[in-house]
Structure formats: structure tokens, C-alpha cells
Amino acid sequence: MKTRADLFAFFDAHGVDHKTLDHPPVFRVEEGLEIKAALPGGHTKNLFLKDAKGQLWLISALGETTIDLKKLHHVIGSGRLSFGPEAMMLETLGVTPGSVTAFGLINDTDKRVRFVLDKALADSDPVNFHPLKNDATTAVSQAGLRKFLAALGVTPMIVDFGAMEVVA
């Protein structure tokens, strides 16, 4: 599994500018409000899910976005969704609960996880994610996030959670 240093080296190799702030571990969106206040841009919540068909999903959204998991499967064309097992999260994304992040896709070398990006987050710049552990926050530009995903061969499904529809 890749480490924070590996992630930053990947960013550097692909021309993704990044800035990181170390802080005490944060486990929930509601925590660390003073940290978020010090960092401009979109702050995220990230959900690792598994559907009834066995497909794994990662959803990255703005922290304040409401996600209706009971309806979402109709929108994204999945089976019914539930939270994915911790062991599978570690195996595919290399992270533990509280540290789920879009940057974990760097560890999904078998492309087992489908990525859903909140339209509101896709419109934010910069965006802030944990760099594989929840004791820091790393900001990248929206263009940098797209470079990162493209370098991994990941095309996000962009969902407008307000309208509950896929927009890209």
C-alpha cells in the first residue's frame, strides 16, 4: 500500500500542486471546524460503500452535502448500498475508517472501486482531502484532482445530490 510520501511523490511526478496541513486526527465531518476555517476551498466527506451486487463505491462530497443512501442506488445504477467492510476498505484503498479519501484510489490498482464525485465538490476549488490518514489535510486544485484521477485511469461519475441525478 502506498504511504503519504508515495502519494506526494505521485502528485509531484504528475504536476499536481499540493499543500498539506498537519493536525490532530479528525474522525467526523463535524470535527476540526477550526482546521477547516484555516483552509480555503471545499472540505469533504467520503463514504466507502458496497452494493448488493458486491460492487465497491467511493463517494466524495462536500461535507455539508446530504446523501440519501436509500435512493442513491437508483441514481447510480447500483444494487442497494451499505457501508463497506473495514477489511475491504484497507485492502482496496489502503485506509481505515475516519481516513477515507479520494486519494486512496491510488491504492486501488485492480480498479475494484467505482468513484462518485459530488457536483458541488467538482465545482469547488481547491478541494481538501486527508492524505491517506486523518491527521492531515491536503489541498489540491480542481484541475489537480482531475490530473490525479486521470493519471490513475479513473473517470468519476459526477452526481448532483440536490437533484439526485448523474450529470457527467
Whether residue 43 has pLDDT greater than 70? yes
Distance CA 65, CA 152 (A): 26
DSSP sequence for 98-150: T---GGGGGG-TT--EEEEEEHHHHT-SSEEE-SSSTTEEEEE-HHHHHHHHH
Question: Angle at which helices 142-152 and 4-13 pack, to 10 degrees?
Answer: 100
Of 7-16, 37-46, 107-116, 156-165, which range is least confident?
A: 37-46
pTM as predicted = 0.94
Average predicted confidence (pLDDT) for the chain: 94
Q: Which residues contact 145 (CB under 8 A, 6 or more apart)?
A: 16, 102, 127
**C-alpha cell read off for 112:** 475494484
What is the rounded distance in angstroms from the CA atom of residue 13 to the CA atom of residue 143?
A: 15
The C-alpha cell that represents 132 in the structure block? 491517506
Q: Is the model's pLDDT at 19 over the cut of 70?
A: yes
Q: What does the alpha-carbon distance between residue 37 and residue 74 come to, in Å, rounded to a whole number?
A: 35
Does the pLDDT of residue 31 top 70, yes or no? Answer: no
